[in-house]
Amino acid sequence: MKVIVLGGDGFCGWPTALHLSNLGFEIVIVDNLSRRNIDNELEVSSLTPISPIGERLKTWKDNTGKVIKFFNLDIAQEYDRLLALILAEKPDAVVHFAEQRAAPYSMKSSRHKRYTVNNNLNATNNILCAIVESGLDIHLVHLGTMGVYGYGTAGMKIPEGYLDVEVVTDSGERIQQEILYPANPGSIYHMTKTQDQLFFFYYNKNDGVKVTDLHQGIVWGTNTPETLLDENLINRFDYDGDYGTVLNRFLMQAAISYPLTVHGTGGQTRAFIHIKDTVRCVQLAIENPPPKGDRVRILNQMTETHRVRDLAKMVAEMTGGEIAYLENPRNEAPENELFVKNERLLDLGLEPTTLSQGLLKEVTDVAGKYSYRCDRNKIPCTSLWIQNQKKHAKETVLK
Amino acid sequence: MKVIVLGGDGFCGWPTALHLSNLGFEIVIVDNLSRRNIDNELEVSSLTPISPIGERLKTWKDNTGKVIKFFNLDIAQEYDRLLALILAEKPDAVVHFAEQRAAPYSMKSSRHKRYTVNNNLNATNNILCAIVESGLDIHLVHLGTMGVYGYGTAGMKIPEGYLDVEVVTDSGERIQQEILYPANPGSIYHMTKTQDQLFFFYYNKNDGVKVTDLHQGIVWGTNTPETLLDENLINRFDYDGDYGTVLNRFLMQAAISYPLTVHGTGGQTRAFIHIKDTVRCVQLAIENPPPKGDRVRILNQMTETHRVRDLAKMVAEMTGGEIAYLENPRNEAPENELFVKNERLLDLGLEPTTLSQGLLKEVTDVAGKYSYRCDRNKIPCTSLWIQNQKKHAKETVLK
């Protein structure tokens, strides 16, 4: 089975490519190395040392005998090359990670908003267009986000993509209908993912394209068994204010003995999944494509939910660190409940790695081991959601 | 009051600019003349003779003494010029017509799909970004489409943008919620308008941008009192298979004594509005902005609904023409009901021009008068909704 991994050099794409390659899938990586270039722009780098893509692929071949092809191609800009590649490779599935994926980065400035919109929307439309134009029956697996749902509805578990509603007609009759869960994005980045859903809806309805949209929680953890084979294969660990997830920033702060910085009350509840489970979920999605003619299949790809302040407490207890509360740069509810249905991936065989099992390993094997590479000025989040918001975060840079 | 009209050289934009200018609004037109360029690409032209934009504006000034400024600017590509213009002109409102607006054109080929997506989505995002970056309190009035709703729900009038639904929680409790009407686009063009709604939702929620989204029906009629002042001011009459609306194509066919071509059974019900009412609706929207802090205001901008075959019969009876039924190139339901709420614009003072009043005038004063300019090979619709669909339309070109 042949799979093209769009964005296969990134944090989720790289371990996915290795996991699938290891299982015997024929893998082609397409990436414009934008994640590395954004590191240059932000003057940050992964805490873990990331090898050049050529060295990564050579090391993988040396260790496993398996060959992964690589094409440096911007799928949002180079449609003709993308189509030619699909026609030449004839993949069974395309996994689409090729989007700008940090909410704070998408809010940094007008330019970052426009880059995120232009890149993400053209990327998704181009791959759908190319699949249709190729005439091939290719299954598209897209990495979406739990953020398309907004953050929770009182007393209701978030379903997997579709919501049963009742509408009362003018004559008083009740109509039952299943609709796409109403979108409620919390950033420009999340907005593009809600717009992606409409691309999938339309191309599936009009052209019968088979699509699985994985609504992923916040990914934690760094490595998979494959990325641990050799240091040249190591995965990214981002701890900066734009790309570092909340958990990574806590781990980093703990490792360098600084207070764990919680934004607002820390009452925001978020969904999480370990990177090892991400790669398994993508595998399960590819191995179980929706039947031709079915609507877009949406799976919630998360395994547990936590409040941000509870995560901070967990890390603080594990490491003996302190917690500091700062003003929240995001325009969002200070506290929310979040209950999520995730039965479908569990039914397909996913066995979750829990935070309580894996977190200590992250503290010692990653954050601690590489803490000498940390630039502590990069940890605070400086992107503001509203233009004239007080630039508080800049004043609280750790010294 | 100053108003920037984006797309002010087009079929709706031009008469809107004149109507507002005539009322004393200070008008700035921004247009990249893409509609004229697409005529060149398709090797068609408006049945009515369209003067160059400079001549249009000079004639307007000569006839009324009123000056309309014009900037040739691609708002989807030239963000910095757009922002500079907004900062220099400081408009109270921006009317956004600057999108590729033909469903068949958006389906012609992969290139046309990608152009429509790239142009429409970046145009909308850029104007929203520029409004936020300018820091000015500008009311954005956008021309949306009835097509975002899909075509009708059995037994229910389509509301103005928002739908009341009930959701049953896991504990059996019923929650009432008002949601954005679930999107159901019928073409790539319509899809971009459903994605526009998410732009408006987000920028309104996060940045407080005041937005009115006008969900317009199919516009018929050619002229307004202002465009009739001088032949140099005349508005477009498109009759080609891509940009010609169903009614214009019937009128054209009647004028050249050819059968009126109905796709499928003609059971598709559509919403209509006269161009004279379009310009009045935009005026009413500008004069009644939503209060700061309110959500996006959505108004249904249509005045009557008809089945396509009934329109054909109406035109046939008026002109003595025949009707021919052809296969439908669109991927859509053959028959649908359509009931639409449109009280809000009526409450603001709209007085509809009905088809029964105005249609005969179109037959004689426009289609008949300019029929010598018609290229009859351009009337059939050759764009197909599905790639491998039988290319029937090409074989039925009128000889």
Residues contacting residue B267 through CB under 8 Å, at least 6 positions apart: B307, B308, B309, B334, B335, B336
Q: Which of B75, B125, B175, B337 to mutate to test the interface with A (most CBs of A within 10 A)?
A: B125
To the nearest whole Å, the CA of B162 is away from the closest chain A CA by 11
CB atoms A114 and B79 under 8 Å: yes
Q: Which of B167, B174, B341 to mutate to test the interface with A (most CBs of A within 10 A)?
A: B167
Give the pair of three-digit tokens for residue A6.
């769009």
Q: Chain A within 8 Å of B162 (Cβ-Cβ)?
A: no
CB atoms B180 and A185 under 8 Å: no
Task: Say which CATH superfamily domain A2-237+272-302+337-354 falls into.
Answer: NAD(P)-binding Rossmann-like Domain (3.40.50.720)
Q: Chain A within 8 Å of B112 (Cβ-Cβ)?
A: no
Q: Using the predicted structure, report yes or no on whether residue A43 has a pLDDT greater than 90.
A: yes
The residue type of A114 is R
Q: Which of A163, A187, A202, A205 to mutate to test the interface with B (most CBs of B within 10 A)?
A: A202
Q: Chain B within 8 Å of A153 (Cβ-Cβ)?
A: yes
Put simply, the chain A residues between 326 and 355 with a CB less than 8 A from any chain B CB are 331
Q: Chain A within 8 Å of B79 (Cβ-Cβ)?
A: yes
- Identify any residues that bridge with A170 across adjacent strands, giving them in sequence order: none
pLDDT value, residue B392: 40
Could you confirm whether B169 is annotated as catalytic? no
Q: Chain B within 8 Å of A118 (Cβ-Cβ)?
A: yes
pLDDT value, residue B163: 94
Q: Chain A within 8 Å of B136 (Cβ-Cβ)?
A: no
pLDDT value, residue A394: 40
Is B380 in contact with B396 (CB distance < 8 Å)?
yes
pLDDT value, residue A52: 98
CB atoms B122 and A126 under 8 Å: no
Question: Based on the number of CB atoms within 10 Å of its own CB, is A256 exposed (0-12), middle (13-18) or buried (19 or more)?
Answer: middle
Pair type for strands A304-307 and A269-274: antiparallel
What are the pLDDT digits (tens) for A261-272?
999 999 999 999
Could you confirm whether A145 is annotated as catalytic? yes
Of A48, A116, A124, A145, which is the active-site residue? A145
Give the pair of three-digit tokens for residue B192.
């971009």
Q: What is the ipTM of this complex?
A: 0.95
Higher-pLDDT residue of B389 and A7 is A7
pLDDT band, very low/low/confident/very high, at A104 (cuts 50, 70, 90) = very high
To the nearest whole Å, the CA of B169 is away from the closest chain A CA by 5
Q: In this complex, which of B118, B122, B183 lies closest to A198 when CB atoms are compared? A: B183
Q: In this complex, which of B154, B185, B386 lies closest to A202 when CB atoms are compared? A: B185
Chain B residues near residue A187 by CB distance under 8 angstroms: 206
What residue in B sits closest to A173 (Cα-Cα)?
B155
pLDDT value, residue B398: 38
The Cα–Cα gap between A399 and B317 comes to 83
pLDDT value, residue A393: 39
Q: Chain A within 8 Å of B176 (Cβ-Cβ)?
A: no
Q: Chain B within 8 Å of A87 (Cβ-Cβ)?
A: no
pLDDT value, residue A336: 87
Pair type for strands B269-274 and B304-307: antiparallel
How far lies A165's CA from each of A18, A162, A246, B175, B340, in Å? 41, 10, 34, 10, 21
Q: Chain B within 8 Å of A154 (Cβ-Cβ)?
A: yes
Could you confirm whether B239 is annotated as catalytic? no
pTM of the model: 0.95
To the nearest whole Å, the CA of A1 is away from the closest chain B CA by 26
Q: Chain A within 8 Å of B113 (Cβ-Cβ)?
A: yes
Q: Using the predicted structure, report yes or no on whether residue A397 has a pLDDT greater than 80.
A: no
Pair type for strands B323-326 and B260-263: parallel
CB atoms B201 and A183 under 8 Å: yes
To the nearest whole Å, the CA of A210 is away from the closest chain B CA by 15
CB atoms B132 and A388 under 8 Å: no
Sheet containing strand B93-96, strands side by side? B69-72, B26-31, B2-6, B93-96, B139-145, B210-216, B297-301
Residues contacting residue B185 through CB under 8 Å, at least 6 positions apart: A198, A201, A202, B147, B148, B150, B191, B193, B194
Q: In this complex, which of A113, A157, A169 lies closest to B156 when CB atoms are compared? A: A169
Q: Report chain A's mean pLDDT, rounded to a whole number.
A: 93
To the nearest whole Å, the CA of B214 is away from the closest chain A CA by 20
Chain B residues near residue A331 by CB distance under 8 angstroms: 206
Q: Using the predicted structure, report yes or no on whether residue A152 has a pLDDT greater than 70.
A: no
What residue in A sits closest to B155 (Cα-Cα)?
A169
Q: In this complex, which of B133, B173, B198 lies closest to A191 when CB atoms are compared? A: B198
Q: Is it true that domain B2-238+272-303+337-354 has CATH number 3.30.70.1140?
A: no
What residue in B sits closest to A167 (Cα-Cα)?
B165
Q: Which of B120, B165, B178, B181 to mutate to test the interface with A (most CBs of A within 10 A)?
A: B165
- Window from A5-9, A252-256, B65-69, B154-158 with minimum mean pLDDT: B154-158
Q: Using the predicted structure, report yes or no on whether residue A373 has a pLDDT greater than 90.
A: yes
Q: How far is CA A181 from the centre of its chain?
A: 19
B367-398: buried (b, 16+ CB within 10 Å) or exposed (e) per residue? bbebbeebeeebbbbbbbbeeeeeeebeeeee
Q: Which of B162, B198, B205, B389 to mutate to test the interface with A (most CBs of A within 10 A)?
A: B198
The residue type of A205 is K
Higher-pLDDT residue of A183 and A364 is A183
Q: Chain A within 8 Å of B87 (Cβ-Cβ)?
A: no
Question: Based on the number of CB atoms within 10 Å of its own CB, is B67 exposed (0-12), middle (13-18) or buried (19 or more)?
Answer: exposed
Is A302 in contact with A342 (CB distance < 8 Å)?
yes
CB atoms B155 and A165 under 8 Å: no
pLDDT band, very low/low/confident/very high, at A389 (cuts 50, 70, 90) = low
Chain B residues near residue A168 by CB distance under 8 angstroms: 164, 166
The Cα–Cα gap between B297 and B63 comes to 36
CB atoms A133 and B117 under 8 Å: no
Q: Chain B within 8 Å of A133 (Cβ-Cβ)?
A: yes
pLDDT value, residue A171: 84
Q: Chain B within 8 Å of A125 (Cβ-Cβ)?
A: yes
For A92, list phi and psi in degrees, rounded to 5. Answer: -80, -35
Residue B3: name the closest of B82, B133, B95 by CA. Answer: B95
The residue type of B389 is Q
To the nearest whole Å, the CA of A325 is away from the closest chain B CA by 23
CB atoms B167 and A163 under 8 Å: yes
CB atoms B198 and A202 under 8 Å: no
A-B contacts (CB, under 8 Å): 141
Q: Mean pLDDT of residues grouped by 10 in chain B (399 residues)?
A: 98 98 98 98 97 98 98 98 98 98 97 98 98 98 94 78 91 90 96 98 98 97 97 96 92 91 92 96 98 96 95 92 89 87 96 90 90 91 78 39
**SS3 call for A361:** helix
**SS3 call for B136:** coil
Q: In this complex, which of A132, A156, A177 lies closest to B169 when CB atoms are compared? A: A156
Of B105, B108, B124, B193, which is the active-site residue? B193
To the nearest whole Å, the CA of A147 is away from the closest chain B CA by 13
Put simply, the chain A residues between 189 and 248 with a CB less than 8 A from any chain B CB are 191, 194-195, 198-199, 201-202, 206-207
CB atoms B201 and A182 under 8 Å: no
Q: What is the DSSP letter of B182?
A: P
